[in-house]
Amino acid sequence: MIKLRRRDGGKAPEPMLSPMIDMIFLLLVFFIISTMYMSEIKTIPIRLPVAQHSQTVSKSNFTVTIKKDGSIFLDETAIDVEQLVANAAVESKRDSSFSVIIRAEGDAEYRTVIQLMDKLKGAGVTRFGLATDVGDGK
């Protein structure tokens, strides 16, 4: 008499974990990188002046945008200069490494930038940065 074997081998197939773990890590990396890119995009769109020897700063407490019409924004919110200076004074007293990045549009008045920096300096802010676009070497 002939013995017949079962076709399924008697046990259920096991899921392969290593390809699933690889896909999870790839998705994680994708979302981390896309989130970092989106945080840079979430500012007021302006044309920054170009500098070829600029330096990238990874941390800033306040990002202030000055448009060419003189309007001032804290992150994405329009703000009055006096209110901005008051907020900066409070944060500067609370955090000794408090810093402000000023993103002034290329056509903005130089006087507006200097007046803002002077008022912030009077409020106790000692760390400033001026945002620029990176030059292409031309």
> For position 62, what pLDDT does the model report?
84
Q: Is it the case that residue 1 has pLDDT exceeding 90?
A: no
Cα 124 → chain centroid: 24
Residues 6+ apart with CB under 8 A from 87: 62, 74, 79
Q: Region 75-97: what's the mean pLDDT?
A: 90
Q: Is there a contact between 56 and 36 (Cβ–Cβ < 8 Å)?
A: no
58-78 per-position pLDDT tens digit: 666 788 999 989 899 988 889
The predicted structure's pLDDT at residue 4: 65
For residue 33, the model assigns a pLDDT of 85
Question: Is-contact 117 81, C-beta < 8 A?
Answer: no
With cut-offs at 50, 70 and 90, classify the pLDDT of residue 85.
Answer: very high
CA distance 123 to 85: 6
CATH of domain 50-134: 3.30.420.270
Distance CA 90, CA 31 (A): 34
pLDDT tens sequence across 2-54? 766 666 666 777 788 899 999 999 999 998 888 776 655 456 677 777 777 66
What pLDDT score does 133 carry? 80
Contact call for residues 92 and 54 (beta carbons, < 8 A)? no
Cβ-in-10-Å burial (0-12, 13-18, 19+) of 108 comes to buried
Give the closest residue to 88 by CA, choosing from 75, 100, 72, 71: 100
Neighbours of 43 (CB within 10 A): 15
- Model confidence at 137, pLDDT cuts 50, 70, 90, reads very low
pTM for this one?
A: 0.61
